[in-house]
Structures are given as C-alpha cells and as structure tokens.
Chain A
Amino acid sequence: NAGVTQTPKFQVLKTGQSMTLQCAQDMNHNSMYWYRQDPGMGLRLIYYSASEGTTDKGEVPNGYNVSRLNKREFSLRLESAAPSQTSVYFCASTQALDGYEQYFGPGTRLTVT
C-alpha cells in the first residue's frame, strides 16, 4: 500500500502559468481533500470531494479548480498561477466525511515567481 501519493514533489512556475497537481490513494477511501499549508497558519482547505463524482469548495478555493477523476484520483489545477499561491499543497483522504482519520500525502512544494 502506497497510501496517498502526490506528484510532483517540487514545482516552480512563473506568474500566469498553469499546472495540475496530481493525487492518488489506494486505500479505497471515499473522500479526498486538497489543503495548502503556509508558514504560521494551520492547513487550510481548498476543495474537497465527499465521494466520486462530487466536489465542493473549502475555505480558500479562489484561483483553483479540481477534478475527481475516479475514486482513486483527485487533481488540483491552477489556471493562472499567482505569487500568492506559493505554498505547500497536501492531498488527504478519509473513509468518509465526518471525523474519520485523514491520511496525508507527502506534499507538493510550489513556488510562483
């Protein structure tokens, strides 16, 4: 079991460029999440997917889009990157919503110049 995997591990973008962060889990979990982690702040939820075929906004969705491709995969897209999106991005999954343990990927460190 690989758990939750994320690609890439590191990325540098110029302002205005686009990219997609990939996330996959092999635990047969129903729910998946995208967070960003910035210095001095707790993890903040960008988008989540309660189950295959559904996605919803979290606290900080502006500038991002997501796709729940299938039960295993949940991608995060930045259409036009901005310096404010420089952050570490974590994908997580749980069996279901409502308090189940979250399993996190290793993170993607994104720098936008």
Chain B
Amino acid sequence: KNQVEQSPQSLIILEGKNCTLQCNYTVSPFSNLRWYKQDTGRGPVSLTIMTFSENTKSNGRYTATLDADTKQSSLHITASQLSDSASYICVVSASGTYKYIFGTGTRLKVLA
C-alpha cells in the first residue's frame, strides 16, 4: 500500500534554532518527492522537489535530502524564523499515475 509517514507530528523550537523533519515513504513506482509548507488557513505551497537521482536540494534556509534506497527524506530548516511556523507536508508522486500521496504533516511552531 502506498503510504507516506512523517515525524514528529508536532515540534516547538526557539527562533534561530535549527530543526529537521522526517518523511518515510512506501510508494512504487517512485516519481518524485516534494515538501510543501502550509500556513494556517491557506493552501500548501511547494518548497522543494526531488527526483530519484537527487540527494540534496536547497531553497534558501530549507534543505531537503533524499535517500531512495531507504525511502527516507528529511527537511532541514536553518536559523528558524517566526514565519516558519506552519505545517510541513511530504508528498510523493507515483510514476505514470495521477497519484500524489500526502503525509499527515509536521506542525512546527517557532517561539520568540
């Protein structure tokens, strides 16, 4: 069964600190993996996309990694800001289909 699991469910950190969010997936055949940021009351917005051959992708203070062998991805946030408070959703696409499999998200709160 195609699944995407994220951990932790929620996380609280102080402004300026780093954090890492995890995503494990069992999706086959794998096409790509995206991390989305969803602010409260808004739709998800794409942060990064990674294909099978990519190990690392950065977008400003966000760095995503992918290990296709172990089917794990992480999103590292450096020097967190209050505006990073949001849910972060891992989404995996199955190749050749319409299917986007969504994780349940990690809710991050950054405190001043």
Near B by CB (< 8 A), chain A positions 40-78 give 40-45, 48, 50, 56
Could you say which of A31, A50, A98, A106 has the most chain B C-beta atoms within 10 Å of its C-beta? Answer: A98
B89-A42 in contact (CB<8A):
yes
A99-B31 in contact (CB<8A):
yes
Near B by CB (< 8 A), chain A positions 62-110 give 90, 92, 97-99, 101-102, 104-107
Of the listed stretches B11-19, B40-48, B58-66, B75-83, chain A binds B40-48
Contacts of A40 in B (CB 8 A): 104
Does residue A4 face the partner (Cβ distance < 8 Å to B)?
Answer: yes
State the Cβ distance, A55 to closest chain B Cβ, in Å. 11
B93-A99 in contact (CB<8A):
yes
Count B-side interface residues using an 8 Å CB cutoff.
25
B41-A101 in contact (CB<8A):
no
> For the complex, what is the distance from the CA of A63 to the CA of B102, rounded to whole Å?
22
Contacts of A43 in B (CB 8 A): 44, 89, 102
> For the complex, what is the distance from the CA of A71 to the CA of B48, rounded to whole Å?
27
A101-B46 in contact (CB<8A):
yes
B31-A98 in contact (CB<8A):
yes
In the complex, which of the residues B43, B96, B104, B105 contacts A4, with contact meaning CB atoms closer than 8 Å? B43
Does residue B95 face the partner (Cβ distance < 8 Å to A)?
Answer: yes
Closest B residue by C-beta to A41: B104
Near A by CB (< 8 A), chain B positions 16-61 give 31-32, 34, 41-46, 49
A97-B97 in contact (CB<8A):
yes
Give B residues with C-beta under 8 Å from A.
4, 31-32, 34, 41-46, 49, 89, 91, 93, 95-105
